[in-house]
């Protein structure tokens, strides 16, 4: 079955960067785009951007263009999101999702990022 | 596109028919999905294209609507349906509603 396994929780200092991973299994990795979504504590969901695992093409929500960088490693079926220049506003749970027929039909378990000194 | 869900909190009893609403800031041409998020879990896709039931989702869940106004209906509320429900438009990029938290009365 389709599974997206994300890296664990991260505690990072303000100004630092963090790289989250999302390992896909149960389907052909290069056939579906991977999207990333942010959920701040107790709040709604924000779309960050997506990557085409086959070509590496990316597209970002304007709000996250200078914050997030999406990459993939096709050899390990893994997608990555690096978040830079972290502030307390970046403390949240981040999800990777698979896009199928324009909807997010599979989600990772989420990765919690806490920014604190 | 702004997505507005109502109510933000809904209390209902087991067996009740429950209706959740989602209003888009402009016509989204039925490009509307509903997700269920239980406490501590990732969201799960329930409905796509406004009224298509995702594989494996119980038939008590249904979606309807058109244009700017959409509804998720649970025909007979079960205890395991306690969750927060989000709508999402994908007509123009993608945005999510603020969510409706469904609890048992």
Which pLDDT belongs to residue B87? 98
Residue B82 has pLDDT above 90, yes or no: yes
Indicate the DSSP class of residue B105.
-
- Cα B27-A34-B100 angle, rounded to 5 deg: 50
Which pLDDT belongs to residue B12? 97
pLDDT tens digits, A1-26? 999 999 999 999 999 999 999 999 99
* Interchain contact, B86 vs A44, CB within 8 Å: yes
Say whether residue B97 is in contact with chain A using an 8 A CB cutoff. yes
Which pLDDT belongs to residue A41? 81
Q: CA of B42 to nearest chain A CA: how many angstroms apart?
A: 6
Which pLDDT belongs to residue A101? 83
| Structural tokens at position A22 | 């999302």
* CA A87 to each of CA A43, A90, A116, B1: distance values in angstroms, whole numbers, following the listed order: 18, 6, 8, 27
Q: Average the pLDDT over A28-41 and give the result.
A: 96
Residue of A nearest to B89 (CA): A103
Please count the residue pairs, one from chain A and one from chain B, whose beta carbons lie less than 8 angstroms apart.
42
- Substitution target in B5, B94, B97 with the highest count of A β-carbons within 10 Å is B94
**Measured torsion, CA atoms of residues A83, A15, A41, B5, in degrees rounded to the nearest 10:** -60
Which pLDDT belongs to residue A12? 97
pLDDT tens digits, A40-86? 987 889 999 999 999 999 999 999 999 999 999 999 999 999 999 99
Q: Average the pLDDT over B30-39 and give the result.
A: 97
Short-list A46, A75, A50, CA closest to A60: A50
Which pLDDT belongs to residue A43? 84
Residue B94 has pLDDT above 80, yes or no: yes
* Interchain contact, A101 vs B48, CB within 8 Å: yes
**Closest residue to B98, CB basis, from A44, A102, A103:** A44
Tell me the β-bridge partners of B35: B45, B86
Instruction: Read off φ and ψ for residue B39, nearest 5 degrees.
Output: -55, 125
Say whether residue B95 is in contact with chain A using an 8 A CB cutoff. yes
Give burial (CB, 10 Å; 0-12/13-18/19+) of A89: exposed
CA distance A22 to A9: 13
pLDDT tens digits, A99-117? 988 899 999 999 999 999 9
Residue of A nearest to B52 (CA): A103
Q: Tell me the three state secondary structure of residue B63.
A: strand
- Of B10 and A41, more confident: B10
Which pLDDT belongs to residue B41? 96
Short-list A27, A52, A38, CA closest to A95: A38
Which positions in chain A touch B30 (Cβ < 8 Å)?
none
Residue B104 has pLDDT above 90, yes or no: yes
């Amino acid at each position: 079955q389709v599974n997206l396994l994300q890296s664990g929780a991260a505690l990072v200092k303000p100004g630092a960067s963090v790289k989250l991973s999302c390992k896909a299994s149960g389907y052909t990795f290069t056939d579906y785009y991977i999207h990333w979504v942010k959920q701040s504590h107790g709040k709604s969901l924000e779309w960050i951007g997506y990557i085409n695992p086959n070509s590496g093409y990316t597209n970002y929500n304007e709000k996250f263009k200078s914050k997030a960088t999406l990459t993939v490693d096709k050899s390990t079926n893994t997608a990555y999101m690096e978040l830079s220049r972290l502030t307390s506003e970046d403390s949240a749970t981040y999800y990777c999702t698979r896009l199928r027929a324009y909807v997010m039909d599979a989600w990772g378990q989420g990765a919690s990022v806490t920014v604190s000194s | 596109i702004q997505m507005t869900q109502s109510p933000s909190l809904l209390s209902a009893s087991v067996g009740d028919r429950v209706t959740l609403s989602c209003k888009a800031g402009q016509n989204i041409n039925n490009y509307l999905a509903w997700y269920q998020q239980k406490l501590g879990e990732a969201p799960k896709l329930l409905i796509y294209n406004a009224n298509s039931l995702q594989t494996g989702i119980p038939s008590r869940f249904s979606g309807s609507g058109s244009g700017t106004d959409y509804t998720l209906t649970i025909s007979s509320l079960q205890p395991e349906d306690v969750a927060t429900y989000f709508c999402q438009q994908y007509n123009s990029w993608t945005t999510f509603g603020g969510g409706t938290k469904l609890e048992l009365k």
